[in-house]
C-alpha cells in the first residue's frame, strides 16, 4: 500500500489551549489512530491471505519554532516555550512510535530548501497574501523579511517530505496554495516530482472564545482555557463568561450564552445543549448549574492529559530522546529531497 505523507505544524507562541486541542491536535490524533486492515497474500504458491493492521498515513508533526520568531518574542524563554508545546503534544496523545515528532529548526534542510524555492516566487505574490497583510496591520513597526518569507518556509516544511496532505485550518489555505505553486514550478522548471499538497480536513471543531466574541485564541486574553488548567482555574474562567437573565423568547446566537452552549455541545453532547435551549425559552437556565457541570466535563477531558504531562515532566531524558530521534528521522527524508533539488538545480555534481 502506498502511504500518504502528512505534515503539519503548530507555532510555539504559547501553550496549547482547548481551541488548539479540539481544532488541530484531535485531528492529528485521528490520523495517528487511523488504522486499517491491509490484506496481502503470502507468495510461493500459497494463497493464504494475511491481514495486518497498519496506518495508511506516514505522519510528520513538528513544532514550527522558526515560524514563531517573526513577531516580537522572548529569546530567553523560547527554548522552554518550544519544549512545552512538545510536552503538550505528547500529553495529548501523540505517540512517537506512530508519528515523527520534531522541532522545525532541528532539521536545517527546511531553511536551505526554502531559499532554493524562493528563486521561483515573486515578491509581488508574497505581498498580496492576506496573512501577510494582517501581520503588517498587527505589527506595523515590525514588518520583517521573515514575515514575507513565511509561506516559502512553510512550502519547504511541506515539500521536504513530499507531503500529499496537510491538516490545517482554512486560514492556512492561501499558504497551501503557495506551496502548490512552488511544487508545480519546481517540477516544470527542474523536472522534479513534488506532489501538489492538499488540505486535509480533520473533524476538528471550532471552539468559541470565553469572551463571547470570535474563537478561542492565544492572543486574546480571557478567551481561552489551557490544557494544563486545573479545575479551579477552569471554574474561574467560566464564571467570567458574560451571561444574561437566563430566559427569553429566543436563544442567543452570539455572545457569552451562545459560547457556553457551544461548549456544552462539545463536552457534554448535543442533547444536553438542546435541553438548555428548551429551558431558556421555558423556565429559564440557571447558569451557576450549567457552568458547574461544564467545568466538570471539561476537566474530565483534560485530567488524563494532565496526568500524562506530569509523568513526562518527571522524565526529561525521555522527552530529549524523543526530540532527538524525531529530528533524525525527519532529516533522513528532508536531506534526500534537498539533495535531489540541489542536483536538479545544478548546485552539486552528479557522481
Task: For 320-338, give one letter per residue: b (16+ CB within 10 A) or e.
Answer: eebbeebbebbbebbbebb
Rounded Cα distance, 143 and 147, in Å:
7
285 binds ligand TRP (CB under 6 A): no
C-alpha grid cell, residue 297:
466535563
Q: Please, what is the minimum distance in Å from the beta carbon of residue 223 to ligand TRP?
A: 17
Rounded Cα distance, 11 and 68, in Å:
6
Name the residue nearer to ligand TRP (CB basis): 162 or 235. 162
Rounded Cα distance, 21 and 29, in Å:
10
Q: Please, what is the minimum distance in Å from the beta carbon of residue 266 to ligand TRP?
A: 21
323 binds ligand TRP (CB under 6 A): no
Using N-to-C axis directions, what is the helix angle for 109-118 and 316-344, rounded to 10°? 30
Looking up cell 522552554 gives: 80
11 binds ligand TRP (CB under 6 A): yes
Specify the stretch interacting with ligand TRP by CB under 6 A; choose among 1-9, 186-194, 241-249, 328-336: 1-9
Map residues 163-182 to x or -, x wherever contact with ligand TRP holds by CB under 6 A.
---x-x---x----------
103 binds ligand TRP (CB under 6 A): no
Q: Please, what is the minimum distance in Å from the beta carbon of residue 79 to ligand TRP?
A: 19
**One residue of 17, 60, 63, 67 binding ligand TRP per CB under 6 A:** 67
159 binds ligand TRP (CB under 6 A): no
Specify the stretch interacting with ligand TRP by CB under 6 A; choose among 8-16, 48-56, 309-317, 343-351: 8-16
C-alpha grid cell, residue 176:
497551501
341 binds ligand TRP (CB under 6 A): no
Rounded Cα distance, 274 and 271, in Å:
5
183 binds ligand TRP (CB under 6 A): no
Q: Phi and psi for 6 in degrees, rounded to 5?
A: -130, 135
The span from the first CA to the last CA of the chain, in angstroms, equals 32
94 binds ligand TRP (CB under 6 A): no
**One residue of 84, 88, 109, 157 binding ligand TRP per CB under 6 A:** 157
Q: Please, what is the minimum distance in Å from the beta carbon of residue 346 to ligand TRP?
A: 28
Site for ligand TRP in 213-272 (CB under 6 A): none
- 255: helix, coil or strand? helix
Rounded Cα distance, 300 and 106, in Å:
35
Q: Please, what is the minimum distance in Å from the beta carbon of residue 9 to ligand TRP?
A: 3
DSSP line for 162-188: T-SEE---GGGHHHHHHHHHHHHHHHH
99 binds ligand TRP (CB under 6 A): no
Q: Indicate the residue whose CB is closest to ligand TRP.
A: 9
162 binds ligand TRP (CB under 6 A): no
**One residue of 6, 148, 154, 207 binding ligand TRP per CB under 6 A:** 154
Neighbouring CB atoms inside 10 A of 309's CB total 19
Contact, 144 vs 118, CB < 8 A? no
158 binds ligand TRP (CB under 6 A): yes
Contact, 258 vs 229, CB < 8 A? no
Number of residues located near ligand TRP, criterion CB under 6 A:
12
Instruction: Please count the CA atoms within 13 angstroms of the CA of 238 that sit on its side-chain side.
Output: 25
* Interacting residue ranges for ligand TRP, rule: CB under 6 A: 7-9, 11, 64, 67, 154, 157-158, 166, 168, 172
Amino acid at each position: 500500500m502506498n502511504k500518504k505523507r502528512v505534515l503539519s505544524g503548530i507555532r510555539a507562541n504559547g501553550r496549547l489551549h482547548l481551541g488548539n486541542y479540539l481544532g488541530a491536535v484531535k485531528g492529528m490524533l485521528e490520523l495517528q489512530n487511523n488504522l486499517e486492515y491491509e490484506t496481502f497474500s503470502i507468495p510461493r504458491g500459497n494463497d493464504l491471505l494475511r491481514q495486518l493492521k497498519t496506518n495508511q498515513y506516514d505522519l510528520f508533526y513538528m513544532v514550527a519554532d522558526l515560524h514563531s520568531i517573526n513577531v516580537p518574542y522572548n529569546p530567553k524563554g523560547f527554548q522552554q516555550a518550544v519544549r512545552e508545546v512538545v510536552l503538550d503534544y505528547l500529553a495529548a496523545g501523540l505517540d512517537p512510535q506512530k508519528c515523527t515528532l520534531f522541532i522545525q529548526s532541528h532539521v536545517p534542510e527546511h531553511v536551505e530548501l526554502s531559499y532554493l524555492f524562493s528563486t521561483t516566487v515573486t515578491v509581488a505574490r508574497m505581498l498580496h497574501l492576506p496573512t501577510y497583510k494582517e501581520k503588517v496591520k498587527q505589527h506595523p513597526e515590525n514588518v520583517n523579511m521573515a514575515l514575507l518569507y513565511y509561506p516559502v518556509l512553510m512550502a519547504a516544511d511541506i515539500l521536504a517530505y513530499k507531503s500529499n496532505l496537510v491538516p490545517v485550518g482554512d486560514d492556512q489555505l492561501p499558504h497551501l496554495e503557495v506551496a502548490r505553486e512552488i511544487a508545480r514550478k519546481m517540477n516544470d522548471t527542474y523536472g522534479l516530482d513534488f506532489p501538489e499538497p492538499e488540505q486535509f480536513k480533520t473533524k476538528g471543531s471550532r471552539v468559541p472564545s470565553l469572551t463571547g466574541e470570535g474563537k478561542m485564541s492565544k492572543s486574546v486574553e480571557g478567551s481561552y482555557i489551557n490544557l494544563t488548567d486545573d479545575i479551579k482555574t477552569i471554574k474561574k474562567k467560566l464564571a467570567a463568561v458574560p451571561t444574561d437573565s437566563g430566559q427569553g423568547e429566543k436563544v442567543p446566537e452570539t455572545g457569552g450564552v451562545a459560547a457556553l452552549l457551544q461548549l456544552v455541545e462539545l463536552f457534554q453532547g448535543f442533547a444536553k445543549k438542546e435541553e438548555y435551549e428548551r429551558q431558556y425559552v421555558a423556565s429559564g437556565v440557571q447558569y451557576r448549574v450549567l457552568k458547574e457541570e461544564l467545568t466538570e466535563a471539561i476537566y474530565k477531558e483534560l485530567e488524563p492529559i494532565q496526568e500524562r504531562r506530569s509523568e513526562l515532566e518527571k522524565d526529561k531524558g525521555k522527552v530529549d530522546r524523543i526530540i532527538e530521534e524525531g529530528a533524525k528521522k525527519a532529516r533522513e527524508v528532508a536531506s534526500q529531497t534537498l539533495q535531489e533539488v540541489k542536483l536538479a538545480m545544478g548546485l552539486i555534481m552528479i557522481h
